[in-house]
Amino acid sequence: MIPQASLKNHKAYLGDLIGGSLMIREGQIVAELLLKKPSQDEWLDAIVNQNILQKRSDASAKRNASTIKKRLEGLSDEFLTQLAFGSAELSSQLMFAATLIQSTMLADFMRDVVLDAKRMFRDLIDSNDWVAFWEDRSRLFPEFAQMTESSTYKISQVVFKILADAGYIESTRNKKLQNVYLLPEVKSLLADMQREDIVAAMEV
């Protein structure tokens, strides 16, 4: 099911999936920076001059930081604090939750495809599952069918990398499904945000 608000804008529905995978370590660093409410100059100084993400080029640092910032914008200080300073498992789940909030398409893929695969006792998902899902969404958003082959391929690669990073599949190569148990802290934060839809997408 697609929220009516998302039907108006294919870009909002897709989110910034093409921007990259979960980037959990980088997400923790950016979350800590955002808690300081930096000005634009302070943001650029931290990302470019101080190179807090430890990237090889300014362009890479700015690109990764921008993607993460988009995924974390609008989230509470409590969410950012737990992401920045929580355990590896907590930070991973919160970064995944933030990505699902920012990309309704990925949340729908989790609920409509990954959950169905689990219900059917399948051992894995594969690229054909994503292709079928993408084609289905292209009927709702014709703009997706107009995207270049390289862009759609990159999005599919990022999706499976995100699922591997979050622990839902064993690796991007075999795509074997794994069980993920949602931490109480994550459930509590999402409940406070009234995002039970995201809880449903993560509890597959």
Mean pLDDT, each 10-residue run in order, the chain (204 residues): 56 90 96 97 97 95 96 96 97 98 96 94 94 94 91 93 96 95 97 96 92
Q: Is residue 13 part of a domain?
A: no
Please tell me the distance from the alpha carbon of residue 176 to that of residue 179, in angstroms, as a whole number: 10
Number of domains making up the chain? 1
Q: Is residue 10 part of a domain?
A: no
Identify the residue whose tokens are 């988009």. 70
Q: Which domain holds residue 26?
A: 18-202
Task: Provide the CATH number for the domain around residue 35.
Answer: 1.10.3540.10
Q: Is residue 113 part of a domain?
A: yes
What pLDDT shows up at residue 18? 87
pTM: 0.93
Query: In this structure, what token pair is assigned to residue 51?
Result: 């190179």
Q: Is residue 8 part of a domain?
A: no
Residue 152 burial by CB count (10 A; 0-12/13-18/19+): exposed, middle or buried? Answer: middle
What pLDDT shows up at residue 8? 59
